[in-house]
A and B are shown apart, each in its own frame.
Chain A
Amino acid sequence: MGYERQPDMGTPDTGAAKQVCLTIDGRAIAVPAGISVMRAAALAGGAIPRLCASDNLAAFGSCRLCLVEIEGAKGTPASCTTPVAEGMVVHTQTPRLQKLRRGVMELFISDHPLDCLTCSANNDCELQDEAAAVGLRDVRYGYAGANHLAQPVDATNPYFDFDPAKCIVCSRCVRACDEVQGTFALTIDGRGFASKVSAGQAGDDFLSSECVSCGACVQACPTATLQEKAVREIGRPERAVVTTCAYCGVGCTFRAEMRGQQLVRMVPWKDGKANRGHSCVKGRFAWGYANHKDRITTPMIRTSTAEPWREASWDEALAFAAERLKAIKARYGAGALGGITSSRCTNEETFLVQKLVRAGFGSNNVDTCARVCHSPTGYGLKTTFGTSAGTQDFDSVMQADVILIIGANPTDAHPVFASRMKRRLRQGAKLIVIDPRRIDLVRSPHVAAAHHLALQPGTNVAVLTAMAHVVVTEGLADEAFIRARCEYDAYQDWARFVSDQRHSPEALEAVTRVPAAELRAAARLYATGGNGAIYYGLGVTEHSQGSSTVMAIANLAMATGNIGRPGVGVNPLRGQNNVQGSCDMGSFPHELSGYRHISDPATRALFEQDWGVGLDPEPGLRIPNMLDAALDGSFRAIYIQGEDILQSDPDTRHVAAGLAAMELVIVHDLFLNETASYAHVFLPGSTFLEKNGTFTNAERRIQLVRKVMEPANGMEDWEVTQALANAMGLGWSYTHPAQVMDEIARLTPTFAGVSFARLEEAGSLQWPVNDAHPDGSPVMHVDGFVRGKGRFVVTDYVPTDEKAGPRFPLLLTTGRILSQYNVGAQTRRTANLVWHDEDLLEIHPADAENRGIKTGDRVRLASRKGETTLRAEVTDRVAPGVVYTTFHHPETQANVVTTEYSDWATSCPEYKVTAVQVAPSNGPSEWQEDYAGLTARARRIVPAEPAE
């Protein structure tokens, strides 16, 4: 598409089914009841001048530009705040209105710089447009009076400027911060002429304020007051392409607004069904990594990791990799080869990597980063409900009455969805938070949790069993739902189990550290408070009982009838943009796409026929098992697309030893990541801006990723995988990812109705998309569970083997922060560093006091596995006995201290519980020193000889 501003109807839709008929400027029109006259006029094809109105904000009635005349009504009401009425006759253009609007506009312009030709918003400015629309020709008041033109620009935010001289005090930015983002960082300070937009307290600037840099204010601004620095530097965009964000599992859609091949800005797409026009600091602004100087765009090879990298042509690098893969297979068998798919890459790319491993390498040794995040979701929800997916769409939260968040921190990890959630909470929904840490949602502006169960890390199952105990023993279970929809015998077994007195909140309080009365109250609220919706994250899955906890959550939802309709459900919040998709695509070693076991002959036959090759019926190795097998010599080569297991996976020393033991490590990535220090082949990757394909977000929504610029490395990632396959002689001939999706659709029942053409037409589709659900499935398990009847599973609390003790008395739990993303490969290469340039260790004041630690001190964090050093932040956000850090920075290597303990069913690592000791330190750990030397050596590059 060319460049034009996104349509704005002025005020929100009411969604009312009832229609109201009225006449606007002589044209009769039927519109939804309750909408504003302004919106009705827009629906009728007209445009009433306005400055303070926007259709993602409640009407405000401030600018007085949108006045209209209504027959039979006195005066000239503001069209934004006047609802339509049956039979109403409206005039939007009359000499009287023209005079009024011109007078209002004169006042605005009298205190606005007349620098349009040099203004960065020239030709993309609502004030400019409306001045033209009302026919402003002069300003009778002159420009010499008191004004705000000399106010200084606040340029502290790395991505946008605030120029108060250009501000018309329409309050759109303040209202966007309040209503859309829910942070309430901005306000109008002062009264009358002194009114001005202020970020936080007097003396605060945008950077030091509570602003989370989501960009909602920038998007709302009708002038150049709040504008992206990139627009000022590059110029007005000239075209826009709608694509899907490559950060978290919310799956926001954006307009990539371009000038030539240069990305000017990412603006959230208002029609995006996942984000509804909102964004966060990562998706909106943190895309600069795509052109970062660290980006590697030339293939590289080396025979030993002791050597420097040597730049090579694609042909040479692919031949080098293929020859070695074939040689290793010939010598050690197919089981010595494997691959890792990326949850940051597209469905099509992921599908091709697992196809390469299964059909090309000849093994099922394929795994994905979901191994270390949501593999327990796959196991738990498949066992209880029949398939591995969240049950709801994001819109569902707006019908929830009780929101239960367990082991998730949505404002940091899924910020755009968190804003929707906060909006619902401000409307009155109740909130229960189960988390050892006081996440922001426990108490933030206009949001307060009814209950915060600050449990001891590792006791999720005990807490959920105690909640189930309350539900069953107090007669709060939904017997009708259970009898109709679930296996009743299994329910009775489960009900007997949870009813046992040893599972009462009082009996388990010593284990969970959650006051029994608080837990009982939370359970009663969830069971009786109306629509109960559970949202969970890695604080559930990354435990030795991750799968049990997922099943315990499913049990609780089924027992209370909170499944199968809007407003309820079980919702895993996926960490990466395409975790759902990579799992759907058959990235696990035991199953093909659509979660069908590799040992099933009928399923396997489908693929064998389509691919023309026999498949191994045995499950392959998971990532930690691949590393183990490497150490015993039975696993020799790995192809890793878009993952950095050295930094992201637990027990770094073990990962390093496993990688070092392999004969061939192929890393396919944007940067020389930490894993690449152990690699022999580096295949440059492409960013999400440089490729076509699809991502599937946490609500099963499949959305198109569209190429907005040519790949800097010369190939999209699916082309790289195809080239590697063809170097091995596989003869693949895809010319576009749409063909890969067609293959996925014919082999995967849940995707049977998906194609690029359908996605273009529908905008997005939520699987299953098939004959029964041709337009997809916003809510699952509506009339029955995928497995037929829902299955209750008895989940006994089994304590982790990771115990705190005298040597390691504290429990470490790890997580994410808003401005950084996972291992930080992308966000660390952006200005987001201004908010988080190092991992910090949160420690409770009592624990800090005992150790003589103050905020800012460097401390040594040691476990049975290893030690690292980082700075401390003393805070009561964590409970006594618990410490917390992030894992975004390789200099810290938080996973040096995490252990190999993992979920019993899926081997998902127990990142959330590591026994540690913390002590003051005056320098880096031995590991950190050694590692700095290693990476410096491993990243040496010998440039290719220039061609003659």
Chain B
Amino acid sequence: MRKERLRYMAEQIARNLAIQGPDVAAAATAEHIRLYWDPRMRAALLADDRAALSPVVAAAVEELAAGNVVPDLAGDRRRPD
């Protein structure tokens, strides 16, 4: 996968979540990537040079690498009535 493209995508997610503050944005970025990215995309991002990433994305990558990201899927199980 093109690492520049993946880096851009991660940074774009982080920029749109940045209003929530760096800690929440990092956690939300990590959760978003965990929920929507194919494993090979995540792997490529995790293999990227952390120094090339913004602090928020770098923190998100740390969370993902540590396996700490457990998305809340309760809404998916709620009956739509």
Contacts and interface: CB of A to CB of B under 8 A. Distances in A.
Interface of A: 335, 364-365, 382, 386-387, 497, 544-545, 548, 589-591, 594-597, 599-600, 602-603, 618-621, 625, 628-629, 631-632, 634, 749-750, 768, 770-773, 786-788, 794, 796, 798, 900, 904-907
A374 to B, nearest CB: 16
A905 B10 CA distance: 10
Interface stretch (B38-46, B48-56, B60-68): B38-46
Nearest to A794: B19
Given A594-B80, A750-B80, A904-B16, A787 B38 contact: no
Given A599-B71, A796-B16, A619 B38 contact: yes
Contacts of B16: 545, 548, 796, 798, 904-905
A770 B38 contact: no
Contact of B37 (A386, A602, A619, A631): A619
B81 A629 contact: no
Which of the listed residues B40, B71, B78, B81 has the most CB atoms from chain A within 10 Å of its own CB? B81
A796 B32 CA distance: 17
A118 to B, nearest CB: 58
Given A386-B75, A600-B73, A620-B38, A628 B1 contact: yes
Given A335-B38, A904-B9, 10 more contacts: A364-B38, A386-B80, A545-B16, A602-B77, A619-B36, A625-B1, A768-B81, A770-B81, A786-B80, A900-B5
A335 B36 contact: no
A823 to B, nearest CB: 25
B2 A597 contact: no
B38 A596 contact: no
Nearest to A620: B38
A140 to B, nearest CB: 69
Contact of B80 (A497, A597, A768, A906): A768
A84 B73 CA distance: 58
Closest 3 CB pairs of A and B: A772-B81, A796-B19, A596-B76
A625 B80 contact: no
Contacts of A907: 9
A625 B2 CA distance: 10
Interface in B4-33: 5, 9, 12-13, 15-16, 18-20, 32
A544 B19 CA distance: 16
A163 B12 CA distance: 61
A798 B78 contact: no
Given A628-B5, A794-B19, A905-B13, A787 B78 contact: yes
16 contacts: A386-B75, A594-B80, A596-B73, A596-B77, A597-B73, A599-B73, A602-B77, A619-B35, A621-B38, A625-B41, A628-B2, A629-B38, A631-B2, A750-B80, A794-B19, A794-B20
Contacts of B71: 597, 599
Contacts of B39: 335, 618
B44 to A, nearest CB: 9
Given A497-B19, A632-B2, A905-B16, A365 B77 contact: no
Nearest to B42: A618
Contacts of A798: 15-16
Which of the listed residues A599, A750, A906 has the most CB atoms from chain B within 10 Å of its own CB? A599
A383 to B, nearest CB: 9
Contact of A618 (B13, B32, B38, B78): B38
A335 B16 CA distance: 29
Contacts of A771: 81
A788 B12 CA distance: 29
Contacts of B19: 497, 794, 796
Contacts of A497: 19
Contacts of A600: 73, 76-77
Contact of B1 (A595, A632, A773, A786): A632
A591 B35 CA distance: 10
Nearest to B73: A600
Nearest to B37: A619
A468 to B, nearest CB: 14
Nearest to A544: B12
A631 B9 CA distance: 18
Contact of A629 (B20, B40, B77): B40
A591 B71 CA distance: 14
Contacts of A631: 2
A749 B13 contact: no
A388 B20 CA distance: 24
Contacts of B75: 382, 386, 787
B40 A335 contact: yes
A431 to B, nearest CB: 31
A102 B75 CA distance: 69
B29 to A, nearest CB: 10
Contacts of A625: 1, 38, 41
A589 B5 CA distance: 19
Nearest to B33: A619
Contacts of B81: 749, 768, 770-773
Contacts of A602: 77
A628 B38 CA distance: 12
A564 to B, nearest CB: 14
A749 B32 contact: no
Contacts of B41: 621, 625
A590 B33 CA distance: 11
Nearest to B81: A772
Given A386-B75, A632-B1, A770-B79, A590 B13 contact: no
Contacts of B2: 628, 631-632
A673 to B, nearest CB: 26
Contact of B38 (A365, A772, A788, A900): A365
A595 B39 CA distance: 20
B80 A634 contact: no
A632 B16 CA distance: 28
Contacts of A603: 76-77
Nearest to B77: A602
A796 B76 contact: no
B28 to A, nearest CB: 11
Nearest to B8: A801
Which of the listed residues A619, A768, A907 has the most CB atoms from chain B within 10 Å of its own CB? A619
A91 B66 CA distance: 86
B79 A749 contact: yes
Contact of B18 (A365, A594, A768, A796): A796
B80 A904 contact: no
A628 B8 CA distance: 14
Nearest to B18: A796
A670 B39 CA distance: 34
A551 to B, nearest CB: 10
B79 to A, nearest CB: 5
A274 B81 CA distance: 23
Contacts of B20: 794
Contacts of A628: 1-2, 5
Which of the listed residues A335, A544, A770, A798 has the most CB atoms from chain B within 10 Å of its own CB? A798
Contacts of A548: 16
A589 B81 CA distance: 25
Nearest to B14: A904
A904 B13 contact: yes
A749 B38 contact: no
A634 B37 CA distance: 15
A386 B78 contact: yes
A219 B40 CA distance: 56
Contacts of A544: 12
A382 B38 CA distance: 21
A846 B81 CA distance: 54
Contacts of A634: 1, 40
A904 B32 CA distance: 10
Contacts of B79: 749, 770, 772
Given A618-B39, A794-B20, A904 B76 contact: no
Nearest to A621: B38
A619 B32 CA distance: 11
A772 B4 CA distance: 48
